[in-house]
Every structure is written in structure tokens, then in C-alpha cells.
Amino acid sequence: MIKAAVTKKRQLQAIAWVLLAASVALAAGTAATLQAQQTDRAKEIGGKLLCGIGTPLCDCKQILTQCNHVGCRNSAGMLKTLDQSVAKGDSEATILQNFIAEFGTAVLSEPPKSGLNLVAWYLPGAALFAGLLLVILVISRWLRRGAAAIPSAAGPTQGVSSELLARARAQASRETQD
């Protein structure tokens, strides 16, 4: 009888522990799906960080403050750390450095403007500059070739037949339609 009562008590304790664990897990889950309150400064710094880097929790790789990944289990923790750092009054460089120390440089949403990464920043501008030069060179070459093709003196215009004139008009009309 006593043995049965002890067994029942243990069962109840086990159920209580399971319920407690479940409620803690539920609370943690709820917390994880909620985006933390953000100040303007936290939003600005969070815009320079990516969510879901270097963690198996989530692979969304979205801007931290804009992570709209349903049920993202990563952003809530990162946002909380960010908010705490901002509340402490840490500088932006310190906050970013702390995140880099934890997640690596890949946590930054854009390449740092130093070293090899400068190639990424300057390549589009260099392509534009080189392309502009190329286009101007090509046009200049065409212009020179076009000028060389035109006879030096105006040829006799009286010999132009009406057929040739009509053809020229049709060509001009076609070429200038659009």
C-alpha cells in the first residue's frame, strides 16, 4: 500500500517535471518568435548585421532588424544582445566587433571597406569607368571612319535620279520611325 502511494507520488512528480519543462520550452519558443523592442540606434546597427550566420538554428541570412523568417530561432537572441549593448551605451564599433567575435566576419551584412574587400566596392565603378571609355573610343572611331567615307567635295547633285531620291526618303523614314 505504502509502496503504491510512493510510486504514485513519483509519477505525479514526473508529470509535474514534464509539464514544467514543457511550459519553459513553450515560453522560450514564444520568446524566440518575438522581435525585441528596438531603438532607432539599435535599428541602425542591426541593419549592418545578418541573421542566421554561423548557427545551426536558422539559415535565413536576412538583415537582422528586418528578419521576417517565420519562427526564426536566431534573430530574437541576437536582437536581445544588440539591445542590451545599445542600452549599455557601447559604441557601434564595439557592438559590431562583439558580433564578429561570436559569429565571424560573415555576420556583417556588407563587406568591410578594407583589404581585398575593396575590390567588391570598386569593381562596379571601375566597370562603369572602363565601359564609358570604351564606348567613347568606339564612337570616336566610328565617327572618324564615317568622316573618311564622305567625299571631300560635294559631288554633283544634278545627277541624282528620282528613284534614288525616293529610296533615300524611304530609308530616312524607316530609320527615324521609332
Partner 1 sequence: MMQEKRGMMKVWNVWLVFITFLLCITGTFLTRSGVVASVHAFAQSSIGNWFLGFIGVVLLTCLVAYFKNRDYLESENQLDAMVSRESSFLFNNLILLVSCVAVLSGTLFPVFSEWLSGNRISVGAPFFNKVNIPIGLLLLFLTGVGPLLAWRKTSRESLKRNFAGPLAAGAVGCVVAFALGYRQFYSLVCLTLCVFVAGTITLEFYRGAKVIRARSGASFLASAVDLTMRNTRRYGGYIVHMGMVLIFGGFAGVAFNRDVQKDMQPGSTMQIGPYTLRLQSLDSRPEKNYTAERMNVEVLRNNKQLMMLYPERRHFNVNANEPAGTMVAIYSTLKEDLYVVYAGESPETNLPVIHAYLNPLVKWIWLGGAVVVFGTLVALLPNRKSVLVLAAVPGTVPQGIAGQALAQPFTPRPAMREGHD
Residues that bind partner 1 (CB under 8 A): 27, 29-31, 33-35, 37-38, 47-48, 50, 53, 59, 61, 63, 70-71, 104-112, 115-117, 119-121, 123-124, 127-128, 131-132, 135-136, 138-140, 142-143, 145-146, 149, 174-178
Q: Which is nearer to partner 1, 157 or 177 (CB)?
A: 177
CA distance to 15, 28, 79, 83, 136, per residue, from 32 (Å): 25, 6, 10, 15, 56
Nearer to partner 1, 9 or 104 (CB): 104
Q: How far is the CB of 90 from partner 1 (least distance, A)?
A: 21
Closer residue to partner 1, CB minimum distance, 27 or 164: 27
Our CB check for partner 1 shows the closer of 19 and 143 to be 143
Residue 119 has, within 13 A of its CA and on its CB side, a CA count of 3
Least distance from C-beta 151 to partner 1, angstroms? 14
CA angle 158, 164, 170 (to 5 degrees): 130
Residue 50 pairs in a beta bridge with: 63
Which residues does residue 49 pair with via DSSP β-bridges, in sequence order? Answer: 108
Q: Which of 45, 37, 38 is nearest to 91 (CA)?
A: 45
